[in-house]
């Protein structure tokens, strides 16, 4: 289920998890995603990686936010229960891309506990 994913042009993996995850689910390259998030941050007068910025960015692109009410429910559990669709999971201070039952990250974050997710599309 875990797929290594790091679109950062310099293969860095510190502090840009939101950019990497959003890049994965939108199909845009890292540079384009970063610039678009910076513009949104400028509009909101906040840093591009803050929750308000990336949540607004996703909302404008058709993503809907949902709470995960199950205690102890992991990223792996989420993927098993959602084999189709495009999601972003919020796990503490980290964001993970999920597409069609696989999670995309620079490390195996499958045991992390998400508190909410953004859904772009789900298919049955």
The domain ranges of the chain are 2-121
Q: 109: Cβ–Cβ under 8 A, 6 or more apart, which residues?
A: 2, 75, 91, 94, 96, 103
Burial environment of residue 23 by CB neighbours within 10 A (0 to 12, 13 to 18, 19 or more):
buried
Residue 122: which pLDDT band, with cuts at 50, 70 and 90?
low
Pairing label, strands 64-67, 2-4: unpaired
**2-121 — its CATH code?**
3.90.70
Average pLDDT, the chain: 93
99 C-beta neighbours (distance < 10 Å), count: 21
Has residue 72 got a pLDDT over 80?
yes
What pLDDT shows up at residue 124?
Answer: 46
What pLDDT shows up at residue 14?
Answer: 82
Pairing label, strands 64-67, 116-121: antiparallel
Q: Is 40 helix (H, G, I), strand (E, B) or coil?
A: helix
What pLDDT shows up at residue 43?
Answer: 97
Torsion angles phi and psi, residue 90, rounded to 5: -100, 115
Residue 6: which pLDDT band, with cuts at 50, 70 and 90?
very high
What would the pLDDT profile of 14-62 be if each residue is shown by its tens digit?
889 999 999 999 999 999 999 999 999 999 999 988 889 999 999 999 9
């Amino acid at each position: 289920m875990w797929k290594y994913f790091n679109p950062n042009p310099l293969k860095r993996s510190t502090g840009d998890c939101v950019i990497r995850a959003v890049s994965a689910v939108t199909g845009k390259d890292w540079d384009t995603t970063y610039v678009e998030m910076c513009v949104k941050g400028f509009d909101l007068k906040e840093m591009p990686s803050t929750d308000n910025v990336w949540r607004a960015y996703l909302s404008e692109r058709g993503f809907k936010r949902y709470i995960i009410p199950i205690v102890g429910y992991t990223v792996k559990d989420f993927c098993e229960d959602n084999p189709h669709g495009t999601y972003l999971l919020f796990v503490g201070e980290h964001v993970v891309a999920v597409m069609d039952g696989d999670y995309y990250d620079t490390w195996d974050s499958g045991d992390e506990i998400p508190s909410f997710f953004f859904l772009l599309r789900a298919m049955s």
